[in-house]
Every structure is written in structure tokens, then in C-alpha cells.
Amino acid sequence: MKKILTALALGASAVFASGAADAATLDQVKQKGFLQCGVSTGLPGFSNPDSKGEWTGLDVDLCRAVAAAIFDDPSKVRFSPLTAKDRFTALQSGEVDILSRNSTWTLSRDATQGLNFTATNYYDGQGFLVRKSLGVKSAMELNGASVCTQSGTTTELNVADFFRSNNLQYEVVAFQGQEETLKAYESGRCEVFTSDQSQLYALRLKLADKDEHVILPELISKEPLATAVRQGDDQWFDIVKWVHYGMLNAEEAGITSQNVKDMLNSPNPDIKRMLGAEGNFGEQIGLTKDWLARIVTKVGNYGEAFDRSVGKGSPLQIERGKNALWSKGGLQYGPPIR
Amino acid sequence: MSDVAFGNDQPFVRKEILQPEPPPASLVGISGWARQNLFAGPANTLLSVVCLALAIYVAWIMLDFLVLRAVWTGANREACIAPGVGACWPFITARFGQLLYGFYPAEEHWRPATVFFVAVALIAPLLTPAAPYKKANALLFFVAFPIFAVIMLSGGVFGLRPVETRAWGGLLVTLVVATTGIVASLPLGVLLALGRRSKLPVVRFFAIAFIEFWRGVPLITVLFFATYMLPLFLPSGWTIDGLLRALVGVSLFSAAYMAEVVRGGLQAIPKGQYEGAMAMGLRYWPMMILIVLPQALKLVIPGIVNTFIGLFKDTTLVAIVSIFDFLGIIRAAFADPNWATPGTVYTGFAFAGIVYFIFCYGMSRYSRFVEERLDVGHKH
């Protein structure tokens, strides 16, 4: 039923090809006075309401950064929590302006869902959680292990591919839901628990003694969690893309929410260009000259957002890993602002 | 037979009636009741023992988890992380405001609270048969109160800060959706049921089409369609409030079910009642309102309350269209890494279960009370 509805929605929007997608999203957002941002219904560290009812997380911070760039006010954003099934329909129908909802960037989604992925906010991938007492340091040492997975998911297929291609013996113990799978792992039904790595960090908190379990460094699948916008509005596409790149550039240049005031007087031409002291780079994408200064002042650079949401400053304690800047061995690379 | 001497010649005549003997000890008191009802035979005894053991076992598990091993105070997950602890109540306490009001701004919480207390103050006398001024009370609750509630909750007038419905959530939304659905579905359902039994073909066709359409479509689909598909068909720039869309969907949906329940009652009324009413010169509406409906509705009280309770629990489906009802906000709270512990999920669901049970059991008890009160004659 859902599929039919989604297909209907896409079909209808393709036929009408009117309304939301045609008008410039930036103008609409300015007119409304706020940004409508699609997030998850609750994914620890990416988008979840805190105890005061404020949405927090890495995906949420991207939306706040876009709001800061447009309005100079990160609170001018409203969040629509979306389930995995509704998310693309909601973006398509104009319910939300940005979809920042831990969605994996794939070719078929890019091609058929009427959306464009702007940039990868978080490089995720499937990983392994094992007991420390097992003494395993790498997934290559998992020969003969029993692996708990959620049944009927791509996780199960990825595990099969990984073990077969590395000529390792394994045994799959599959369960219906995430919680059940975790309980099975905890009660010793299997030695290894596999899921997306960011999930593993969140689920590890639910174990009785989280320090007895480690997450192995290998990623066996590519899950680039990317932000998406509707097709057909290139200006809006550029804005959302460059907000992410801007936050990366700010981190690389060492501009933080703490020192951005001092950095405005920096003689460094790169920083001058970023913060709008030189050139009109913000205006070229439809924003103001000080767009990046606004973002960093109000939200922070990518590293700050990462640490606060999922990294060292949060209970999740996720390592930067693949999400480190390219200059530090990671994949996060912001094209130059010039 | 030989004569028996009684001391004098008078035959024995009992002067007063003997007091009856008490029943044997095995039939009276707790032990007698237990003997009759619990241990009447080997099969009965076995069943009783097994059920009792099961009940005690379950009760013990719940008591153990919810009270004995529970953690009562704490600031974050560290409090509930120790091995062997039970329910993590500080998780509920920390989010209590959110569970009640969702994302409603904290400094405005007095507004939904006022609405709630006014609602209780109006409903309680309405549901108590002995309370006076029923008409004025009903008028206040069904006409004045909704206006008052909308003004208080959404604000924007009289200096109240506007709070858009997107920020509403928690128990507030559950009660708003359930109350609206219940209050709207009963009259609509009665009209539809009458329409379906009408002799006018157009009215009948419309009623049948409406009922069968809404009964044939899952509520999830209705909500999904109303939320994500409607904007595609409306002219751009038009928006309908998301909560309002869900309210309309839920009301129409439950009205269709209500119509079928009421139709069952209408069919149970003997034809003589209709004929008697017509013979007295009553036209259609007086006949229905004075003679038929009072009897029909009384017959189907269990069915009506069943629909209400079903509707109350179905409100959780609004979570599918990103409205955080009571259960939805609890589930969202699970995602907070500051409270991720082994027991968080169980605590949350246990709390939700207790709250839903209180509401549903309350409705069920009240329906029993109304049934008994209206149970005059017609003992079948």
C-alpha cells in the first residue's frame, strides 16, 4: 500500500510538476520565515529530542546551520519527524524543504525519487560489535564466529558477502527487531553483533556494561548518510551543499564558534574569503557575505557539531574515523571557497 | 406404633418455628466460596492452582521490576546503569512535562493544564446522573468548551502567545484526538446509520458508499494520504493544519464504524415500536428521537464503548504522520543518548501501558455503570 501511495505521489508530482518544486525554495523559506526540516523520529546523536524538547544531533545541526545562514537565527527551523517510509514523499510533496534524515545516498534513490543528494553529512558503514574478552582486534580474526543480525535487512546480505569473500567461516543468528537482536547478543547467543556502526555506538549504551564491548574498526559496507533536497531548484541545492562544505572549511581553517570574532580580523586570505571580509562568495549562492560567519557563530564548525552530537562530547563517543577531515585521514573534504 | 408418653395427654404441637440450621461449614465463608468456585473438582482445582500461580508470578515480576528493583532518582543514564536494576523512573520524571505536553513551550504549560482541568470540571458532572443543570452543562461542554480549548491551546488572541499544533504532543494530543473523535463520531455515526436504513435511495446510497469506503481503507492509509498526498492536490500556497487533517481523518473513520454499531441497535428494535410511534402520529424525526434511538442506543452501549476504546488506542497511529502522541513521544525519548540504558525501553513501555490502561479501564467501568442504570425491563 505504502509503495503504491509513494508511487502515486511521485506520479502525481511528475504530472503536475508544479507548485513546490517550481518556485524558488529560498524565496519560499524567507517568506514563511522559517525552514522546514525533515528529520528522523529519533536516532541517537543524529536527530533526537533532548529532555527540554529541543531537537539535537548532527542531522539537526545541518538544518540549524542553513537557518543560521539565511536568517542569522538557528532557531528559525521547524522539524518534521519522518519515518523511513514517508521521508521521500514528504520531501517531494513540499512538506519539508530539506531532508536531513540519515538517508543513505544510492544511485536508485538519486535517480528515481525526484531528489538530489547534496553532500554526505556522515560516512557510515556496517560494523561489528564484540566482547572485549574475546580479544579480537580486527574483523579478519572472526573466523568461525556466530553473528547476530536483524533478519531481512541488507545487513544480513553484507555479512554473507564479507565472510565469503574473505574465506571465513561464520554462522548467522537472525532476529526480527533491533532490540531483540541486541538482547540475544547480550545473553550470549552469538559472539558478534552487526549493524550500521553509528547504530552500534548507540546500542552499546543499552548494554549493562558498555566498556566490556568494543566496536571493530572495519566497515564492510558503504552507507553515506546524506542530505537531500527536491530536484529542480539548483540554487537551493547549492545553498544546502555549501553550508556543509562551509562548515568543513571552517574546521579546516581552525575557525570555531569561540574564536570566530577574532578570526574576522585574521590576515589569512582564505579566512577573509570565508568570513566575508573579502569577496562576495555568500551572495553568489543567494546568501549574505557573512553567511559562514553566521553559521560558525551560531552553530559551530563541522567538528564542533560532530563532537557535541556523536563524538567525544556526547555519550556515544564515536571516533572521527572516516568522518575526519581529508587532511587528517578522513573523507570529509570541503571544496575551496573562492 | 406404640403410644408415646409425653408427660401429659396432649399431643406434641410445635409452638414456634425452629431456626434453620446454618449451612454446613464447607459451604459458607471464604473456605466455602473457594471450595465451590475454585476447587470444585480435580480439573477445576488444577486450573485454579495454575492460574493463581501464573497470576502471582506475573504480579511478582511486575512488582519486582517496577518497584523493588527500580531506581527512583538520578540525573542521567549513570543512575540506571548499575547491573540488576529495574525500572528507570528518573527517565520518566525528567521527561514528564514532555510526555504530557510534547514540544509545547515549557513556560506555556499552564494553558493545556487549565484546559484539562476545565474539561474534567465539565465532564464529571455531565457523567454523574445526580448532578443538576444537565442542559446548561452539556451546552457548555459541547459548544463553549471546544472554542475555549482551541483559543487556549493555539493562542494568538487575547495576548496569548501562538503555539502551532506541530508543537503539541504527548498525552495532550492523545486526549485531543480521542475526545474529538469520540464526540464527533457518535452523532455522525447515528446520522449515517439512519441514512443507511432510510427509504430515500440517494441518502441510502450516500450513506452506504461513505461507510463502506471508510471501513474499507486502513486508518494508516487515511492519515498518510491526508498528510502527504493532500498538499499535492491542493493549489500551492494552501495548507491545512497537520493535526486538523488527522482529526478529520480519525473522526470520519470512527464515524463509519460507529454507524454500523448503531445500525445493529436499530435493527434490534421490533417493528411494532416503529408502527406504534407512527400510529401515534409521530413524524420521522420525533419517532426516531423519542422512541427508536433511545432504545437502540441503550442496546449497543457495549459496542459504542468498544469503538471508543478502540479509537483511544488507535490515536497512536498519528505517529505515522509525525504527530507525537503519548506513545510517540515516549518512543522518541528512547533515542536520547543521555538516557540510553538497558531498562529504558521497558520503563517507557510499562509507563505507557499503565496510563493507557487507566483510561481504557475507566471508560469500560463507566459503560458498565451506564448499562446497569439503563437496564430497565427487557430482561432477555
Residues of B in contact with A47 (CB under 8 A): 335
Averaged pLDDT, B276-291: 90
Least confident stretch, A23-32, B38-47, B101-110, B279-288: B101-110
Q: Which of B183, B312, B206, B204 is nearest to B255 (CA)?
A: B183
Residue type, B160: L
Q: Which of residues 107-166 of B touch A (CB under 8 A)?
A: 166
Q: What fold does the segment set B164-374 form as a domain?
A: MetI-like fold (1.10.3720)
Are B250 and B314 in contact by the 8 Å Cβ rule? The answer is yes
Confidence bin at A23 (pLDDT 50/70/90)? low
- Return the amino acid letter for B106: A
pLDDT on residue A134: 87
Pairwise CA distance, residues A209 & A197, whole Å: 18
- Please give the backbone phi and psi of residue A105, each rounded to the nearest 5 degrees, phi first: -80, 110
Yes or no: say if A69 and A291 are a contact pair by the CB < 8 Å rule: yes
In the block, cell 535487512 appears at A153
Contact B320 A95 (CB under 8 A): no
Across the interface, whether the CB atoms of A5 and B225 are under 8 A apart is answered yes
Phi, psi of B2 (to 5 degrees): -95, 155
A100 part of a folded domain? yes
Q: Which of A59-63, A211-215, B26-30, B175-179 has the lowest mean pLDDT?
A: B26-30
Residues A14 and A105 in one domain: yes
Asked if the model's pLDDT at residue A10 lies above 90, the reply is no
For the segment A220-232, the average pLDDT, to the nearest whole number, is: 92
Q: What is the pLDDT of residue B6?
A: 54
Q: What are the contacts of B126-131 at 24+ separation with CB within 8 A?
A: B127/B366, B129/B373
Q: Does B85 touch chain A (CB under 8 A)?
A: no
Integer Cα distance of A218 and A324 in angstroms: 16
On whether residue A41 sits in a domain, the answer given is yes
Residue B99 has pLDDT above 80, yes or no: yes
pLDDT one-digit tens code per residue, A75-118: 999 888 887 777 888 898 888 999 999 888 989 889 988 899 99
Identify whether A328 is part of a domain. Answer: no
Q: For B337, which residue in chain A has the nearest alpha carbon?
A: A44
- Is residue A333, in this structure, part of any structural domain at all? no
Helix (H) or strand (E) holding B76: none
Say if residue A180 is in the same domain as residue A199: yes
Chain A: residue whose CA lies nearest to B341: A206
B315 touches chain A (CB under 8 A): no
Distance (Å, rounded) from C-alpha B75 to C-alpha B52? Answer: 39
Q: Domain check: are A85 and A143 in the same one?
A: no
Rounded Cα–Cα distance for residues A247 and A39 (Å): 20
**Distance from C-alpha of B252 to C-alpha of B255, rounded to nearest angstrom:** 5
State whether A19 and B344 contact (CB < 8 Å).
no
A236 and A138 in contact (C-beta within 8 Å)?
no
pLDDT of amino acid B236: 63
Hey, are the CB atoms on A53 and B98 less than 8 Å from each other?
yes
Return the SS3 of A221.
coil
Among chain A residues, CA nearest to B344: A206
Q: Do A1 and B236 touch (CB under 8 A)?
A: no
Residues pairing with A226 in the sheet: A103, A120
Which of A187, A205, A210 to probe the B interface (max B CBs under 10 A)? A205
Name the grid cell of A327: 587532511
List beta partners, residue A40. Answer: A82
Q: Give me the DSSP letters along A150-209.
A: ETTSHHHHHHHHHHHHTT--EEEEEESSHHHHHHHHHTTS-SEEEEEHHHHHHHHTTSS-
pLDDT of residue A17: 41
**Confidence band, pLDDT 50/70/90 cuts, at residue A15:** very low
Give domain status of residue A325, yes or no: no
Nearest CB to A9; choose among B218, B229, B322: B229
Q: Are the beta carbons of A86 and B225 separated by less than 8 Å?
A: no
DSSP three-state, residue A17: coil
Task: Residue window 195-224, chain B: list those with CB within 8 Å of chain A.
Answer: 218, 221, 224
Q: B270: which residues sit within 8 A by CB, 6+ positions away?
A: none
Distance from CA of B227 to the nearest CA of A (A): 9
Specify the pLDDT at position A20: 44
H/E segment holding residue A224: strand A223-230
Helix axes B344-374, B326-334, angle to 10 degrees: 170
**Contacting residues for A293 by C-beta, under 8 A, at least 6 apart:** A260, A264, A274, A275, A276
User: What's the whole-number mean pLDDT along residues A166-170?
Assistant: 90
Same domain, A238 and A102: yes
In a domain, A16, yes or no: yes
- Using an 8 Å Cβ cutoff, are B167 and B320 in contact? no
Does the pLDDT value for residue A203 go beyond 80? Answer: yes
Number of domains in chain A: 2
Domain co-membership, A28 together with A155: no
Nearest beta carbon to residue A9 from set B95, B232, B328: B232
pLDDT at residue A14, rounded to an integer: 44
Kindly state the average pLDDT of the residues A234-241.
94
CB atoms within 10 A of CB B273: 14
Instruction: Give Dmax (Cα) for chain B.
Output: 115
**Mean pLDDT of the region A252-257:** 94
Q: What is the torsional sign of CA B265, B270, B276, B281?
A: positive
pLDDT greater at residue A1 or residue B216: B216
Q: How far is A284 from chain B (nearest CA, A)?
A: 28
Q: Is B4 exposed, middle or buried (0-12, 13-18, 19+ CB in 10 A)?
A: exposed
Q: How far is B80 from chain A (nearest CA, A)?
A: 9
C-alpha cell at A7: 508511487
Q: CB B341 to CB A206 under 8 A?
A: yes
Residue A99 and residue A247 in one domain? yes
Looking at the partner chain, which of A23, A41, A186 has a beta carbon nearest the beta carbon of B332?
A41
How many Å apart are CA B361 and CA B232, to the nearest integer? 41
pLDDT at A192: 92
Q: Which residues on B lie below 8 Å from A44 (Cβ)?
A: 335-337, 340
* Measured CA distances, B186 to B134, B181, B260, B310 (Å): 19, 9, 11, 14
Average pLDDT over every residue of B52-56 = 95
Name every chain A residue with its beta carbon within 8 A of the beta carbon of B95. Answer: 51
Residue ranges in chain B assigned as alpha helix (H)? 29-37, 42-63, 89-94, 96-101, 110-127, 134-139, 145-154, 170-196, 201-216, 219-224, 230-233, 242-268, 271-279, 284-286, 293-299, 301-314, 326-334, 344-374
ipTM surpasses 0.95:
no
Q: Which of B228, B245, B334 to mutate to test the interface with A (most CBs of A within 10 A)?
A: B228
Residue B354's Cβ-count burial label (10 Å; 0-12, 13-18, 19+) is: exposed
Which residues does chain B have within 8 Å of residue A94's beta carbon, measured at their own beta carbons?
A: 231, 236
> d(Cα A296, Cα A260) in Å, to the nearest integer?
7
Mean pLDDT of chain B: 84
Q: Which residues of A touch B332 (CB under 8 A)?
A: 41-42, 48-49, 81
Q: What residues of chain A lie within 8 A of the CB of B106, using their CB?
A: 52-53
CA-CA distance, B196 to B210, in Å (whole number)? 10
* Chain B neighbors of A206, CB-CB under 8 A: 340-342, 344-345
- pLDDT of residue A21 exceeding 50: no
Residue A285 lies in a domain: yes
Query: Does A190 map to a domain?
Result: yes
Give B-chain residues touching A80 at CB under 8 angstroms: 166, 322
The alpha helices in chain A, defined as continuous H runs, are: 2-16, 25-32, 58-71, 87-92, 107-112, 154-165, 178-186, 197-204, 234-253, 260-263, 269-275, 281-284, 291-298, 302-309
Per-residue CA distances from B24 to B17, B20, B31 (Å): 20, 12, 11
Q: What is the pLDDT averaged over residues B299-325?
A: 85
Mean predicted confidence (pLDDT) in A242-253: 95
Contact A37, A95 (CB under 8 A): no
* Residues A123-156: tens digit of each pLDDT: 999 999 999 988 888 888 888 889 998 877 778 8
Specify the pairing of strand A98-104 against strand A77-82. unpaired
Looking at beta carbons, which residues of chain B come within 8 Å of A5?
A: 221, 224-225, 228-229
Q: Domain check: are A28 and A147 in the same one?
A: no
Sign of CA dihedral A215, A218, A223, A226: positive
Q: Are residues A208 and A245 in the same domain?
A: no
* pLDDT mean over B333-357: 87
Q: What is the DSSP string of B254-306?
A: HHHHHHHHHHHHHHHS-HHHHHHHHHTT--HHHIIIIIIHHHHHHHTHHHHHH
How close is the nearest chain A Cα to the Cα of B102, in Å?
A: 7
Q: Does pLDDT of B54 surpass 80? A: yes
Find out whether A75 and B167 touch, Cβ atoms under 8 Å: no
Domain ranges in chain B are 28-68, 105-162, 164-374
pLDDT band of B238, cuts 50, 70, 90: low
Please indicate whether, in this complex, the C-beta atoms of B229 and A43 are within 8 angstroms of each other: no
The Cα A280–Cα A289 span in angstroms is: 5
Residue B104 CA to residue B96 CA, distance in Å, equals 12
Inter-chain residue contact A8 with B229, CB threshold 8 Å: yes
A167: left (phi over 0), alpha (psi -120 to 50) or beta: left
Domain span holding position A206: 126-215
For chains A and B, CB pairs below 8 A equal: 121
> Confidence class of residue B68 from pLDDT cuts 50, 70 and 90?
confident
**Chain A contact for B92, CB < 8 A?**
no
Contacts of A314 in chain B (CB under 8 A): 337
CATH number at residue A196: 3.40.190.10
Q: Answer whether B221 sits within 8 Å of A208, measured CB to CB.
A: no
Q: How confident is the model at residue A323 (pLDDT cuts 50, 70, 90)?
A: very high
Smallest Cβ distance to A44: which of B94, B218, B335? B335
pLDDT band at A22 (very low <50, low <70, confident <90, very high): low
Interface mutation target, options B336, B346, B347, B349, chain A, most CBs of A under 10 Å? B336
Of A29, A31, A49, A32, nearest to A40 (Cα)?
A49
pLDDT tens digits, residue range B141-166?
888 888 888 888 887 777 778 777 77
| Predicted pLDDT at A85 | 77
Please say whether the beta carbons of B378 and B294 come within 8 A: no
For the segment A168-187, the average pLDDT, to the nearest whole number, is 85
Please give the pLDDT value at position B130. Answer: 81
Question: What residues of B are in contact with residue A41 (Cβ under 8 Å)?
Answer: 319, 322, 328, 331-332, 335
**How far is it between the farthest Cα atoms of chain A?**
61
The reply to whether B18 touches chain A by the CB within 8 Å rule is no
Q: Which residue type is seen at A76? A: K
| Facing residue for A45 by CB, picked from B224, B337, B342 | B337
Q: Do the chains contact at A53 and B319, CB–CB below 8 Å?
A: no
